[in-house]
């Protein structure tokens, strides 16, 4: 951050009460940092999931900032769903979870100001989805991307089944969605999943510089151009999301999902049976 940059904490009624997200204004940029105090790898639990839904809902009417910078904490962007939270999800929770997930992504696409993601470390599962649904994605050389839903016996119903095929094509997307394999920053860039890869120590500086460049553009032109491009993404989301989340709900209730969580707890390989 330059010496001339003005930064301040966000104090407004609509941005109050977050425990997992820290907001700061830097000139015309709203810096949003994912920071879950209940999990050292920024995994998403029930509280953070609801706060993300609320965050993007409130960002839809953000009029002061001209750009949003979205990043994580330390060396982690977000490690995806918290295993302890997933273990406690019951059938009674499925409707609320599905509705929140749907609102989270629709709200994210409805944010009018550009979102620059600075992926400072592992972006996994929902963490990867949020990063990939951003508008311009900077990634630290040391960071990785993955969507390992299948490794815990689940369908990638939180948006992964939408954005990965849109970005890199169905064949490549299925390779990574069916295996849950991680992608290095260099490979993610080569495939076109992210825009820029930079050394970790320069990540936020370069992402901020790009955000400042966007702030100098004509606000209405940028907002409406983003809306036009996102219209295509929204059409794909409308076609795939309900179907993929319905399938994810089915797998939440499966024996394979319970076996995957037990295997993580017991630190062993899972034995899947297709039930």
Instruction: Tell me how crowded residue 77 is: count the other CB atoms within 10 A of its CB.
Output: 30
CA-wise closest residue to 147 among 157, 135, 156: 156
Topology of domain 7-201+219-266, CATH: 2-enoyl-CoA Hydratase; Chain A, domain 1 (3.90.226)
**Low-confidence residues in the chain, pLDDT < 50:** 1-3
Tell me the per-residue pLDDT of 167-206, one tens digit each, with 9 for 90 and over: 999 999 999 999 999 999 999 999 999 999 999 999 999 9
- Sheet hosting strand 7-9, strand order edge to edge: 7-9, 21-26, 29-34, 67-71, 115-119, 136-140, 196-198
List all residues 6 or more positions away from 175 whose beta carbon is below 8 Å from its beta carbon.
Answer: 181
User: DSSP characters for 137-202?
Assistant: EEEETT-EEE--GGGGT---TTTHHHHHHHHH-HHHHHHHHHH---EEHHHHHHHTS-SEEE-GGG
Residue 28, Cβ density class (10 Å: 0-12 exposed, 13-18 middle, ≥19 buried):
middle
For 257, list phi and psi in degrees, rounded to 5. Answer: -65, -45
Give dist(CA 95, CA 93) in Å, integer.
Answer: 6
User: What was the pLDDT predicted at 3?
Assistant: 44
User: What was the pLDDT predicted at 1?
Assistant: 47
Whose structure tokens read 């299948």?
A: 150
User: What was the pLDDT predicted at 101?
Assistant: 87
Predicted structure pTM score: 0.92
User: What was the pLDDT predicted at 8?
Assistant: 64
CA-wise closest residue to 82 among 264, 249, 269, 268: 264
Antiparallel, parallel or unpaired: β 183-184 and 136-140:
unpaired
Instruction: Tell me how crowded residue 212 is: count the other CB atoms within 10 A of its CB.
Output: 19
In the chain, domain spans = 7-201+219-266
User: What was the pLDDT predicted at 169?
Assistant: 96
Q: Is the dihedral of CA 114, 25, 56, 39 positive or negative?
A: positive
CA-wise closest residue to 117 among 46, 185, 45: 185
């Amino acid at each position: 951050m330059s010496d001339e940059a003005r930064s301040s904490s966000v104090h407004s009624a609509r941005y109050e009460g977050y425990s997992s997200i820290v907001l700061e204004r830097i000139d015309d940029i709203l810096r949003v940092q994912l920071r879950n105090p209940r999990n050292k790898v920024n995994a998403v639990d029930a509280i953070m999931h609801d706060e993300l839904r609320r965050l993007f809902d409130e960002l839809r009417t953000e009029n002061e900032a001209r750009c949003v910078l979205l990043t994580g904490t330390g060396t982690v962007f977000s490690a995806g769903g918290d295993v302890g939270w997933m273990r406690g999800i019951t059938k009674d929770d499925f409707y609320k979870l599905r509705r929140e997930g749907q609102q989270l992504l629709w709200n994210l696409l409805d944010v009018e100001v550009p979102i620059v993601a600075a992926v400072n470390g592992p972006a996994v599962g929902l963490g990867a989805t949020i990063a990939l649904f951003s508008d311009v994605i900077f990634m630290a050389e040391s960071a990785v991307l993955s969507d390992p839903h299948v490794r815990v016996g689940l369908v990638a119903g939180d948006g992964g089944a939408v954005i990965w095929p849109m970005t890199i094509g169905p064949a490549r997307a299925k390779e990574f969605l069916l295996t849950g394999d991680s992608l290095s920053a260099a490979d993610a860039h080569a495939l076109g999943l992210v825009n820029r890869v930079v050394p970790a120590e320069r990540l936020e500086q370069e992402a901020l510089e790009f955000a400042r460049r966007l702030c100098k553009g004509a606000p209405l032109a940028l907002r409406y151009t983003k809306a036009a491009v996102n219209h295509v993404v929204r059409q794909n989301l409308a076609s795939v999301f309900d179907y993929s989340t319905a399938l994810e709900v089915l797998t939440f209730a499966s024996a394979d999902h319970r076996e995957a969580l037990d295997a993580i707890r017991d630190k062993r390989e899972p034995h899947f049976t297709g039930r």
